[in-house]
A and B are shown apart, each in its own frame.
Chain A
Amino acid sequence: MSLDGDKQKEVDSGEPASRNGPGMMSRILNTVGLPRLTVGGFVVVLFVLGRIMGLPLTNLLTNSISRFGMNAVMVLAMVPGIQCGIGPNFGLPIGLLAGLIGMVSALELGFIGFEGLMLSMAIGAGLGALLGIGYGLFLNKVKGQEMMVGTYAGFAAVSLMCISWLMLPFKNPELIWVLGGKGLRMTISLKDTFGHALDKFWNFQIGGFVVPTGLLGVVFILAAAYKLFEMTKLGMAMDLAGQNERFARAAGVDCDRMRVVGTAISTALGAIGIIVYAQSYGFIQLYTAPLLMAFPAVASVLIGGATPSEASVSNAMVGALLFQSLLATTVPVAQTVVGGDISEIVRLIVSNGMVLYALTRGHGGEAANG
């Protein structure tokens, strides 16, 4: 994961140091970017702290890697959204719901194990793409307010599905409440079906450090596939539409259509993302669980060096790795240092701090009401 792959062309000329010859510090800051530098620094400090505290490093590393695999696809889903011009896809829960529907449908139909996982992904991605087209068409009508409208469209979709989970006529006793015989459970265990199917696929150990080959393989395949898509004519047109709408239109690109394509891909990736997440977690979480899941994904891609208008696959991968390592190492280190679970607070402050940082820099627009 080299850093030269991403488009780190942030305008940092406002830095006082860069005016009289770029200093060492500001040069590093410009190439690596403040978010990556701070979060990366934190991770290093935490690893060192963990080492001093005598925590087994292999454990920290294993946790970091598996958490990265769990979340990477959802972070990858941010890339097409940003590239096509809708910005960070705060409406990601719509895709997550498609993935959840995919999983419960596959289980209801009696597909367990690997074929269940595959069917879940097929249903989820298909449904996600369809919903994404609709959602993309909707976003074309609210240009400039995608983040806010997307957030609340996602929230509304999650709460609407809360009602549906209660009402849908699922029959599989493993899925529905034991009492009453109606409505899906809050959490569905995947222990006897496809829980850890990817994590355990060809996994191996190097001195206590577990490599989840299947999990990382899926992340790698999806990331590589998206990289290939970026090189196609459609992918390039989409990126152009997001970077400069006027210029893209002059080049004969149908920007509105590109935005729909990007949103559809983002939503479909979100659906696959939650399936990867759930198999790794071992449970399907329904009802309000997906409500706030877009925010860590948005934060991750921004930590990786993306901006609300530019992103690359490597931004997503680096961001997911840094953010998840930070969370994975905070829990045990804080437990020994502070004596309490501070990870939720770290998650809130770091992820939202990063989003805020991205929102407050760059071009100033009009007022909220124009």
Chain B
Amino acid sequence: MDKHGVFRVFSKRITKENFKSILVQNIVPIMFVILCLVAVRWSGKPLAFLLQEVVFRMSRNSFLVLSLVIPVMAGLGLNFGLVIGAMAGQAGLIFVAARQIPGVLGLLTACLVALPLALGLGYMIGRIMNMARGREMIAGMILGFFMNGVYQLVFLFGIGTVIPFSNKSMILPSGIGLRNTVELGTIRWVLDELLMVRIGPVRVPLATLALSAVLEVLITWLYRTKLGQDIRAIGQDMRVSQVAGIQVDRTRIVAMMISTVLGAFGQIIFLQNIGTLNVYDSHGQIATFAIAAILVGGATVSRATVGQALLGTFLFHLLFIVSPYAGQNLLGSAQVGEYFRVFVAYAIIAVSLALHSMQRARAQAAQKH
């Protein structure tokens, strides 16, 4: 059924012979499982509580993490520019909050407003990525910072001056710029409560999870299309693909556009669960945490599957929940636990990037001999 291994976490089927090499290749998720077990043990929290938290966090985060898969397939590496998609999603949410559009209609409107923005921004990111070949990840990260400046310019100085805005309660007292917090009261929990199912002590927002499942199916389906094959081909080798007649630059742009649109939708799903939008901070750490999550699942710069995204989201957010409690119990300070989980996010990215770079160097050296 899973012919292309989209759901597979390990790259090979486990047999007795390759057990050790699989262990080495997947050292990141294995270490993380151990870390999670220790932290869960020391958090002293009941399992039902943890499960509930993990279910909510999975439901609101997995869409964002899944939106990273396609650029990796296309050889663009991890999309550190995902924040830009999130900004488009937030623009949609601000529109809905200003008009007070309620319910599912509001959610759909937000997506509809975000869609053209994300497509345009994704096109721009793709163009820039094509200019910064070999430096896509750092370019994406810097582009994210840059667009954050543009985003602040628009919402802090553009609203009320260039952009007309009718809802005065959302605007700063000076009449220019949005307030930091926007209450998403009309669409809060709309998606989550569409189909809330109780399994034992745990409430499961089935509709939200189903949406991620739909995306998983779509990514699997994409593998079979011409576009998907092109994306995978340029991910394998750009030069060969070029010779084979694939429009490399165009395909890379399309991959970034898809990822940016998914990032926008992912942010909308994320924030409908949170319920309040911090106009100037909500998007800040989105890319870092999504990337850390997918790497925890065993993904690398050049290989990411849906299965790794889901496993990674689960493990990363489990650690996120328990580490303040574990910090409190182990060291007498919840703050230490909070710093620790941020450290883990950054360190996992640094280590994964370093490991991948070393493996590549080794492979290149082996090829020469």
Residues of A within 8 A of B (CB): 90, 138, 141-145, 147-149, 151-153, 155-156, 158-160, 162-163, 166-167, 295, 338-340, 342, 344-349, 352-353, 355-356, 359-361, 364-370
From B142, B340, B350, contact of A352 by CB (8 A): B142
Question: Assuming A148-B141, A367-B133, A368-B77, what are 13 further A-B pairs, CB within 8 angstroms?
Answer: A141-B354, A145-B353, A145-B354, A149-B357, A159-B339, A159-B343, A160-B347, A339-B174, A348-B152, A352-B146, A353-B146, A356-B143, A367-B238
Q: List 28 A-B contacts (CB under 8 A).
A: A147-B138, A148-B137, A148-B353, A151-B138, A152-B347, A153-B350, A155-B350, A156-B346, A156-B347, A159-B343, A159-B347, A166-B333, A340-B156, A340-B176, A345-B149, A348-B152, A349-B150, A356-B128, A356-B139, A356-B142, A356-B143, A360-B128, A366-B134, A366-B238, A367-B76, A367-B235, A367-B238, A368-B135
Q: Flag whether B157 is at the interface (Cβ < 8 A).
A: yes
Q: Is B177 an interface residue (CB 8 A)?
A: yes
**Cβ of B230: which chain A residues have Cβ within 8 Å of it?**
none
Say whether B31 faces chain A, with CB atoms less than 8 Å apart: no
Identity of the chain B residue whose Cβ is nearest the Cβ of A163 in the assembled complex: B339
Q: Report the minimal beta-carbon distance from A255 to chain B, rounded to whole angstroms.
A: 14
Q: CB-defined interface of B312-346 with A at 8 Å, one 1/0 digit per residue?
A: 00000000000000000001010110011011001
Q: How far is the CA of A295 from the CA of B142 in the complex (A)?
A: 9
Q: Name the B residues within 8 Å of A344 (CB-CB).
A: 152
Partner of A155, one of B331, B339, B346: B346
Q: Smallest CB–CB gap between A75 and chain B, Å? A: 17
> Interface code B62-102, partner A: CB below 8 Å = 1, 0 otherwise?
00000000001001111000000000000000000000000
Query: Which among A152, A159, A356, A369 is the interface contact of B75 at CB below 8 angstroms?
Result: A369
A143 and B131 CA atoms in complex are apart in Å by: 21
Would you call B354 and A352 a contact (CB within 8 A)? no
Contact A166 B138 (CB under 8 A): no
For the complex, give the distance between the alpha carbons of A352 and B176 in Å.
Answer: 25
Interface assignment of B153: CB less than 8 Å from any CB of chain A: yes
B148 at interface, CB cutoff 8 A: yes
Interface flags for B123-136 (1: CB within 8 Å of A; 0: not) read 00000100111111
The 6 closest A-B pairs by CB, nearest first: A365-B134, A368-B77, A348-B149, A369-B302, A152-B350, A352-B146
**A307 → B minimal CB distance (Å):** 13
- Chain A contacts for B340, CB-based, 8 A: 163
Interface residue SS majority, chain A: helix
Q: Given A141-B354, A142-B358, A340-B157, is A364 in contact with B145 using a C-beta cutoff of 8 Å?
A: no
**A-B CB contacts (within 8 Å), total count:** 156
Question: Which chain B positions have C-beta within 8 A of A160?
Answer: 343, 347
Is B361 at the interface (CB under 8 A from chain A)? yes
> Please, which residues of chain A bring their CB within 8 A of the CB of B75?
367-369
Give the complex CA separation of A347 and B234 in angstroms. Answer: 36
CA distance A292 to B204 in the complex (A): 38
Interface string of B108-136 (1 = CB under 8 A from A): 00000000000000000000100111111
Q: Is the CB of A355 within 8 A of B142?
A: yes
Question: A359-B132, A367-B136 given as contacts; is B142 within 8 A of A167 (CB)?
Answer: no
A144-B357, A367-B134 as given contacts; A359 in contact with B142, CB under 8 Å: yes
Provide the residues of chain A in CB contact with B290, threshold 8 Å: none
Closest A residue to B148 by CB, please name it: A348
Per-position binary interface string of chain B over residues 146-180, scored 1 when its CB falls under 8 Å from any chain A CB and 0 otherwise: 10111011001100000000000000001011000
- Contact, CB under 8 Å: B339 / A142: no
CB distance from A159 to the nearest CB of B (A): 4
By the criterion CB–CB under 8 Å, are B135 and A147 in contact? yes
Q: Are B349 and A141 neighbours in the complex by a CB distance under 8 Å?
A: no
Q: Which residue of B lies closest to A88 (CB)?
A: B138
Nearest residue in A to B152 (C-beta to C-beta)? Answer: A345
Q: How far is the CB of A104 from chain B (nearest CB, A)?
A: 17
Verify if B360 is at the interface (C-beta below 8 Å from A). yes
Q: Closest CB of chain A to B18's CB: distance in Å?
A: 23
Contact of A369 with B149 at beta-carbon distance under 8 Å, contacts A155-B350, A345-B156, A359-B135 already known: no
B336 and A151: CB pair below 8 A? no
Name the residue among B76, B149, B157 with the largest chain A CB count within 10 angstroms: B149
